Amino acid sequence: MAITAVVGGQFGSEGKGKIAGYIAPECKMAIRTGGPNAGHTVVTKGKKFVLQSIPCAIAVDDCILAIGAGGVFDPDILQSEISRYITDSHKLIIDPMAGVIDPLHRKQAQEIRGGTGSPVKGVGPAHAHKALRLADFRLARDLPEFSQYIDDVSLMANQIIDTGQQVMLEGTQGFGLSLYHGTYPHTTSTDTTVGTLCGNAGVSVRLVEHIILVIRTYPIRGAHGAMKYELTWNDVARESGYPGKLEEMTTVTKHVRRVGKMDLDWVKRAIMVERPTQIALTFVDYVNYQDFGVEKWASLSKKTRDYIVELEKKLEVPITLISTGPDNLHTIDLRKQKL
Ligand code: GTP
Ligand code: MG
């Protein structure tokens, strides 16, 4: 037992938060990487958590929640998440080296990227200022108001791994938004791949046991950047029989997401680079709404089962987790059968 990494294979919002929340009970520690430009949603037995800084293992009391050294956080956003969600039974730690987003970074993000569909949370400028080692750039260790949470994330993660327990690395965005491998310049300000997650957290890539690539049946993307097989939300609603109006908004920026048919070439490239041990396929309710909330493979409609079998053949990676809705309960877990 060692590290489980959860990463996105498309353009973000694949449901990494949901999958991370689902596997959290198996982990002793969860490390959030990246910054508050990603919003993760976990729904556990109807209770919803929307998180931009704290890991999605929040619903599991004895899982240590951590923000890694390579991450950046906005003190106001983090403080508000702490007040909303952190209780006495949680243990939250922030690496002293994690970067702090200041109002100046948010202002610069607005000036440079405002109106481009970017979440403009100041993440890019904060990373840039850290890289430049500007004199006024602050690290978590410089904030007295968070002193009770400051601890060595890398040391704790390695100690936990050495006792044989599992540590989860929770990625943000998706392969197509990686600064290195994505559709530059319509990307985020960091790489999103597993190697970078390990560096962020301070753990060796040699210890990664499971790489879960999360992909959606119908990928989405923000306002900018190419989308090969773009559809309208009406197309998806018609195809799946979704009742009422189907439309997704971005978690952080509250814009309508663009949607499309799955681009297999793109997913295959993500697979080539990430070499996932398994795939979590989300939004199968968009293939057939009859399958919304289904918890067993045998209960899925033939249309959806055929879609998944066909997709697995094409991707040549086991599809072990199938998500049929936002709640953790809306999950078909085939890991025992397939791994
Ligand atoms: P980023 O790092 O920001 O890309 O986030 P993410 O991959 O964690 O996804 P995010 O939580 O932003 O968006 C996914 C949304 O879809 C959330 O509102 C989830 O609750 C919801 N969701 C997750 N899985 C499913 C699913 O299988 N079906 C449906 N209908 N909704 C889902
Ligand atoms: Mg999101």
Mind listing the pLDDT tens digit for each residue in 208-252? 999 999 999 999 998 889 899 999 999 999 999 999 889 998 766
What band does 130 get if pLDDT is binned at 50, 70 and 90?
Answer: very high
Ligand lying nearest the CA atom of residue 50: 1
**Rounded distance, CA 93 to CA 149, Å?**
5
CA 334-10-93 angle, 5° bins: 75
Q: CA dist 42 to 54, 150, 188, 308, Å? A: 11, 25, 22, 24
Whether 338 shows a pLDDT value over 80: the answer reads yes
Ligand lying nearest the CA atom of residue 172: 1
pLDDT higher for 8 or 118?
A: 8
Q: Which residue has the tokens 């059968």?
A: 337
3 state DSSP class of 86:
coil
pTM > 0.85: yes
**Rounded distance, CA 133 to CA 22, Å?**
38
What band does 61 get if pLDDT is binned at 50, 70 and 90?
Answer: confident
Nearest to 227 by CA among 180, 190, 266: 266
- Would strands 258-260 and 220-221 be described as parallel, antiparallel, or unpaired? antiparallel
**Rounded distance, CA 97 to CA 113, Å?**
26
Q: State the number of CA atoms in the 13 A half-sphere of 26 facing the CB.
A: 15
Asked if 6 contacts 19 with a C-beta cutoff of 8 angstroms, the reply is yes
> For the residues 60-66, what does the mean pLDDT come to?
94
Q: Give residues (CB < 6 A) around ligand 1.
A: 8, 12-18, 38-41, 43, 172-173, 251, 282-283, 285, 323-326
pLDDT digits (tens, 9 = 90+) for 71-104: 999 999 999 999 999 999 899 999 999 999 999 9
Counting from 1 in the atom list of ligand 1, the atom nearest the Cα of 12 is: 4
**Rounded distance, CA 19 to CA 23, Å?**
6
* pLDDT > 70 in the chain, percent: 99
What spacing in Å lies between the alpha carbon of 328 and ligand 1's midpoint?
Answer: 11
